[in-house]
């Protein structure tokens, strides 16, 4: 069982992550044109993404809403089965924040608001970062942390 104090922090973290994502998207939707922060390298560019990662599969918004809801339901239902270490819990909450951030957009607007533009990569948003951090963090922990734990147990 996750300690009450740690659990409170993690729930606060998820709320802060979702709020930051939605606030940034709110400002992005108000931009009339791309704003260069570092010319030809890093811009803020409002993009309506009707597809999924990198704008692939345009026009599947309703399917993505259902997929997000199913994945979110599975994660919430099985959250008590996840490892109780703080790192795993933080990664799980990053994953949830990413799902919820993009789900809010899909339900409210029919698209995901993207705005982080490095010019050599498709435009993305904070929720996309959260999803990637959560997924990569959980996979890396499973690969590296589990191997280290197995070595310790074997000795």
- Active site positions, annotated: 114, 128
Q: How far apart are CA 92 and CA 34, in angstroms?
A: 33
Tell me the pairing of strands 42-49 and 35-38. Answer: antiparallel
Q: How far apart are CA 126 and CA 102, in angstroms?
A: 9
Q: List strands edge to edge, sheet with 35-38.
A: 35-38, 42-49, 112-117
Strands (E), the chain: 35-38, 42-49, 112-117
Q: CA-CA distances (angstroms) from residue 26 to 50, 79, 99, 138, 142?
A: 17, 30, 17, 29, 36
Helix/strand/coil for 124 = strand
Radius of gyration of the chain (CA): 18
């Amino acid at each position: 069982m996750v300690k009450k104090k740690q659990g409170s922090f993690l729930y606060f973290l998820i709320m802060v992550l979702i709020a930051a994502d939605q606030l940034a998207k709110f400002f992005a939707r108000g931009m009339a044109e791309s704003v260069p922060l570092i010319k030809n390298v890093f811009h803020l560019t409002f993009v309506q993404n009707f597809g999924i990662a990198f704008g692939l599969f345009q026009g599947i918004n309703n399917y993505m809403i259902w997929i997000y809801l199913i994945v979110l339901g599975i994660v919430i239902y099985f959250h008590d089965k996840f490892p109780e270490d703080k790192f795993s819990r933080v990664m799980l909450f990053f994953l949830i924040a990413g799902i919820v951030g993009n789900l809010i957009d899909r339900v409210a607007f029919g698209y995901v608001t993207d705005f982080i533009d490095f010019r050599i990569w498709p435009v993305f948003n904070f929720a996309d970062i959260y999803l990637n951090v959560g997924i990569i963090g959980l996979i890396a922990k499973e690969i590296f942390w589990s191997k280290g734990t197995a070595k310790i147990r074997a000795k």
